[in-house]
Each structure stands twice: as C-alpha cells, then as structure tokens.
Amino acid sequence: MKQIDAGVLNVAFFDTGPADGPPVILLHGFPYDAHAYDTVAERLATEGKRCIVPFLRGYGETRFLDAGTPRSGQQAALGADLLALMDALAIEKAVVAGYDWGGRAATIVAALWPERVKGLVSCGTGYNIQDIAASGEPADPAAEHRFWYQYYFHAERGRLGLTQNRDALCRLIWNLWSPTWAFTDETFARSAKAFRNPDFVDVVVHSYRHRFGLVPGDPAYDAIEQRLAAQPHISVPAIVLKGADDGVDPPGDGEGSHFTAGYEEKIVRGVGHNFPQEAPGVFADAVLALG
C-alpha cells in the first residue's frame, strides 16, 4: 500500500501493474473497501494496466490532512477527491471505474471533467449523480424499504448504532445487498478493518444526510454541487454493470439518455451489489473494453 497527499487528504492506495501502463482507477463503495478490487486489479495488471485502488475518505488508512476540514461525505467531495488524486499522481487521463460511492465519484469526474476520463465503468444506477433538489419526493414503497439504512442514519440513533455496531451493521448490509454471494468470515474481516478509520462514522452519516438536504455541505464544494444540480450528461464512453440479485439497487429501466458518447448496459445473474468482488472477470472485461 502507498500513500500520497492529494487535496484535503492523505490517500492510502494500492498501485498494481506496470508503472508506465495505461492507468485505471478503481473505486469502492459503502460499506466496502479497496480489497473489493484485489482480483480485478490482478487481472488488469496482467493485461499491462496500472491499477490505482484508493481507500475513500473515511476508510482504511486514508486521513484528512487538517483536523478542521469538515468530514463531509457529499457527492461533490468524492468527485473532488478523485480529481485531486489524479493530479497528485500526475495522471492526465484514465479509465475510471466504481460502484456505489465509488461509482458516483467516477461518474462525477466523467461528467464534469471528461477530458480526464478515457472511459467509465459504473454499477447499479450507472448515472448515480444525486438530484438533491428532488430528494424529498418519495420513491415507490419497495425502494423506500430498501433504503431503510439511509433513513436510520438521519437520526442520532443511527449514528450511535453505526458507532457501536459497525461490523454487525455492515455485515448485515453485505448479506442483504448480495444475497447470493457466499463471502467468508475472512473476506469480511479484511474489509471491516477499513471501518476503524476515525472519520468513518462522520463521513458516512454526513453522506446520507446531505443527499436528502438535511445538512449543509462543505462550502469548499458549493461550485461543484451547483454544476451537479444541473444533472450533466456523460460525454465519455460508458459501460454500466447491473447485478440481477442486487438487494439495494436492482436493475431498472435503461439510463442511456444521460450518456452521449456510447452506452452499454449489462445485467449479470447471480451478482449482487458488490459487483467487482462478486464477478471480477466481468468487471475486468468491461474495463478492458474501454481501453
């Protein structure tokens, strides 16, 4: 594992493959960590790709550089973190790929800084830039039921629950979201170490409150949030992978209208929410298809 100062963070990341290979940045979601890409990165490295796999803010050994920086989990912060990491590593252009929070970060950079992105791989809701202005509109009852954890974190009871029961709560989410994935105790324990980050609870709680307009964001990201509020199109080639067994974000209608430079959607049976760890071959193939 390596570390580098990037923006407001000291980012911990894995760097696999030839240093001069075409760069690929792989981004995990909540509540997972960079180990979700162990097999994907190994495969891509054998194909000559340089794979950068960071721990997001609030996870693993990634740390804020300044104690006074707000522990924001808002979408603009995730996108800004990815761009800052690319700048710190002197990566001018890369394939960016992710799921859940990581897919959001990748999608944001693809939307707002397309000149930095060769191609996008996203999972589930491929266009997952949040429409915060519309967040007060109720979803259908089945979706509301799947989002119970988000509403749980809106209250201080949820913050306390995540603080006191983070392993049990995160493991429950793994089971609910990937009901056909027979992960081992060792697999979960390896990732659960990342949830010991001192900022994990604050970043997670802020994320799930900000997306519903319940708390303000970090003013440093106001300009980015304003651009995201316009729901910008994706003008780079994109592949969206959907797990047929995803327990929180099941496959829905196509989203091609958000993409203007090529869009491919694949629904894969037997796969839940943690796509790269459950179907690493399919995920790696999608990355390779984009160069």
Q: Which CATH number do you get for residue 34?
A: 3.40.50.1820
Question: Torsions phi, psi of 116, nearest 5?
Answer: -100, -5
Percent of the chain with pLDDT over 70: 99
Q: Name the CA dihedral angle for 12, 15, 20, 24, rounded to a multiple of 10 degrees.
A: -90
Confidence band for 257, pLDDT divided at 50, 70 and 90: confident
CA angle 154, 79, 168 (to 5 degrees): 40
68: buried, middle or exposed (CB in 10 Å: 19+, 13-18, 0-12)? exposed
Pull the structure tokens for residue 220.
């440093």
Give the ranges where the chain is alpha helix by DSSP (H): 38-46, 75-88, 101-112, 141-146, 148-152, 156-164, 166-177, 185-192, 200-210, 222-228, 275-278, 280-289
Task: Tell me if the pTM is above 0.95.
Answer: yes
Question: Under DSSP, is residue 34 helix (H, G, I), strand (E, B) or coil?
Answer: helix
76 within 8 A of 102, measured Cβ to Cβ: no
DSSP β-ladder status, 9-16 and 50-54? antiparallel
The DSSP annotation for 131-200 comes to: -GGGTTS---HHHHHHTHHHHHTTSHHHHHHHHHSHHHHHHHHHHHH-TT----HHHHHHHHGGGG-TTH
pLDDT digits (tens, 9 = 90+) for 8-63: 999 999 999 999 999 999 999 999 999 999 999 999 999 999 999 999 999 999 99
Total domains in the fold of the chain: 1
> Is pLDDT above 70 for 247?
yes
pLDDT at residue 254 is higher than 70:
no
The pLDDT of residue 252:
83
Q: What is the pLDDT of residue 126?
A: 87
Would you mind telling me the total number of residues written for the chain in this entry?
291
> Using alpha carbons only, what angle is made at residue 221 by residues 216 and 222, rounded to the nearest 5 degrees?
65
- Look up the domain containing 96 and give its range: 2-289
Average pLDDT over residues 126-154: 96
Average per-residue pLDDT in the chain? 97
**Looking at the predicted structure, is the pLDDT value of residue 101 above 90?**
yes
Range 146-161 average pLDDT: 98
What is the reported pLDDT for 74?
98
* DSSP annotation of 22: P
Q: Is 44 helix (H, G, I), strand (E, B) or coil?
A: helix
Contact 182, 5 (CB under 8 A): no
Is the pLDDT at 4 greater than 70? The verdict is yes
Share of the chain above pLDDT 90, in %: 97
160 by Cβ neighbours in 10 Å (0-12 / 13-18 / 19+) ranks as: exposed
| Band of residue 119 on the pLDDT scale cut at 50, 70, 90 | very high
